[in-house]
Structure 1
Amino acid sequence: MKRLSMALILALLRTLSVLPYPFVARLGMVVGTALYALPSRRKHIVLVNLGLCFPGMTRREQQKLARAHFRHVVRSYLERGIQWFGSAQSIRDIVQIESQIDLNDAAAAPTIFMGFHFVGIEVGCMVYSTYRPVASLYTRMSSTALCDLAKRQRGRFGAEMIERSTSARKIVGLLRSGIPVMLAADMDHGVDNSVFVPFFGVPACTLTAVSRLARLGRARVVPFVTEVLPNYQGYKLTIFEPLADFPSGSDVVDARRMNAFLEEQVAKIPEQYYWVHRRFKHRPPGMASVY
């Protein structure tokens, strides 16, 4: 059954990869609308997250935002066909790049590209790898077959895929050799190597890996966000200026700065942030579970 499921997933993704992008995007929005109408654990998680982060919204406003988010999430899953099996040019065709740093500067300092879990993060990372060498951190999935497929397809343009649990020494070595490293630190991976700092006013278990790696690798930290453009025009990858005075020497201060930056970006496109994840899975001592 597992082999059959993987065969069906592969067939679906390969089929989607050759269909016109606007058709796939529209199909994803339709399927997302239908799935939102059904009771599900993920729908519950989204509504809990929105209730915590946007208490000023009415229940109807939160549900409207949740519905829009479901559409974007499902759409992003269907667009994996293009991202995982499309050509480099087909990916470049749907992603605009706007960078506030010189991406061709051979003398640039070691660089950590700090991403966030918006629905477009995958295509943003992949389009960068079609132009320049890069290493990218990933978290292993529960399905070994699906994880291996994702790793292979994400790295097919030359990106070195590195599991998150890999020794920091290897990552630091890449940074010092001039290979930029892409990572995201806005998910709850447990209390080890994390601190609790506010995210939209709610204590969030936030990784300190960015600060630690930047310090060890003497690297600048450059945030990036990939947003879905309106009217099925594709995506826009925005690469920002490096964070000033980062790391600061305080993991708590740095983690709060990361979350504050993320809050600013979420406010622009709230329907595109990954509310389906349990961002507040771990709670400070004495605080009850929210899910």
Structure 2
Amino acid sequence: GIGLVEIAMAWFTNPDRFKGMVEVFGIENLNAAKSSGKGVLLVGAHFSTLEMGGFLYPQGEIDATYRAHDNPLFDAIMYNGRMRNVEGVFNRKNIRQAMRSLKAGRVLWYAPDQDYGPRNSVYAPFFGVPAATITATSRFAKFNGSAIVFYSHYRNADNSGYHIHFSEALKGYPTGDDIEDATIINSHMETAIRRQPDQYLWLHKRFKTQAAGKSARPYNDKKLKSKS
């Protein structure tokens, strides 16, 4: 669908073509966060407009983390496409490189809304359901005192353009409690998703990993299917 068209646009076309098609909200929040010189962790979510989010980012000078694709050829295409729009693309497992980016006072895009399993995760509510949530977000913030700003991007309902949003920097974060920190992140994710829930990539199976005593395969749970 349109998401595939947008991937092609983001990886292969000139962003200047879209300058008049984008409304930006809260850019002052990003600028205020950058002024500290301690780097900004730009927290995003996996919307269907994901590739356009980097493509339309208005400030330049941004790094990003990503999950390498299992297919080496597609991974190379994806990497090169994303490198057109950002200055550095780091494998999400390369923590040192990400930390160097923040230490240099740069903006680092990072999306903690996927289920990476129980290791280095805690269970925190996400739309009222416990979800395995990685703790790296608070670790990044604590490492260099970097500000946390949420970045969300949406396609207009009539497909006429896009609107992108930068939240105010989180205050009092991290708290020192992993579950509380994860709950804060998930709550802000919910706020971003509620603006345009149809554009969120629910197919990522956010609830795949379950706590002890819960269904190990919730998406195959007969009870859940009977309610749908």
Q: What TM-score, normalized to structure 1?
A: 0.70
One of 160, 163, 172 as aligned partner of 1:236: 163
Of 78, 81, 102, the match for 1:153: 81
| Unaligned stretches of 5+ residues in structure 1 | 1-27, 29-74
- Could you list the per-position Cα deviations for residues 55-94 of structure 1 after superposition, in whole angstroms to 9, with x for gaps in the alignment? xxxxxxxxxxxxxxxxxxxx21222111110112124344
Q: Which residue of 1 aligns with 2:205?
A: 278
Question: What is the aligned partner in structure 1 of residue 121 from structure 2?
Answer: 194
Query: How many Å apart are 1:100 and its aligned residue?
Result: 4.6
What is the percent sequence identity of the aligned residues?
A: 29
Alignment of 1:150-229 (within 5 A): 150-166=78-94, 168-229=95-156
For the residue of structure 1 that corresponds to 2:56, the secondary structure is: helix
| Corresponding position of 1:107 | 35
Equivalent residue of 2:202, what SS? coil
CA distance in 2, matches of 1:213, 1:240: 18
- Higher mean alpha-carbon deviation, 135-144 vs 267-276, is at 267-276
Q: Residues 204, 104 of structure 1: CA spacing in aligned structure 2 closer, same or farther, 3 A cutoff? A: closer
Give, in whole Å, the separation in 2 of the partners of 1:264 and 1:160: 28
- C-alpha distance in 2 between matches for 1:202 and 1:158: 34
Report the aligned-residue RMSD.
Answer: 1.7
Q: Compute the displacement of 1:157 (Å).
A: 3.7
For residues 123 and 44 of structure 2, the distance between their equivalents in structure 1, rounded to whole angstroms, comes to: 19
SS at match of 2:131: strand
**What is the deviation of 1:226?**
0.4
Relative distance call for 1:87 and 1:100 in structure 2 (3 A) is closer
Q: Which residue of 2 aligns with 1:60?
A: none
Distance 1:203-1:104 versus aligned 2 partners, 3 A rule: closer
Compute the displacement of 1:171 (Å): 1.7
Higher share of residues assigned strand = 2
Q: Tell me how far apart the structure 1 counterparts of residues 31 and 171 of structure 2 sit (CA, whole Å).
A: 21
- The corresponding residue for 1:97 is 24
User: What is the total number of aligned residue pairs between the two structures?
Assistant: 216
Which residue number in structure 2 is paired with residue 62 of structure 1? none
**Contact preservation (8 Å) 1:196, 1:204:** yes
Matched, 1:124 2:37: no
Work out whether residues 100 and 241 of structure 1, in 8 Å CA contact, stay in contact via their aligned partners in 2: no
Letter in 1 for 2:44: G
Structure 1 residues 104 and 223: alpha-carbon distance in aligned structure 2, compared to 1, 3 A threshold:
closer
Q: Which consecutive unaligned segments of at least 5 residues does structure 2 have?
A: 220-228
Displacement of 1:278: 1.0
Q: For 1:116 and 1:215, how far apart are their aligned partners in 2?
A: 21
Q: 1:215 to 1:92 in 2, by over 3 A?
A: same
Between 1:90-99 and 1:198-207, the stretch displaced more is 90-99
User: Which one has a larger percent helix, Structure 1 or Structure 2?
Assistant: 1
Q: TM-score, structure 2 length as denominator?
A: 0.88
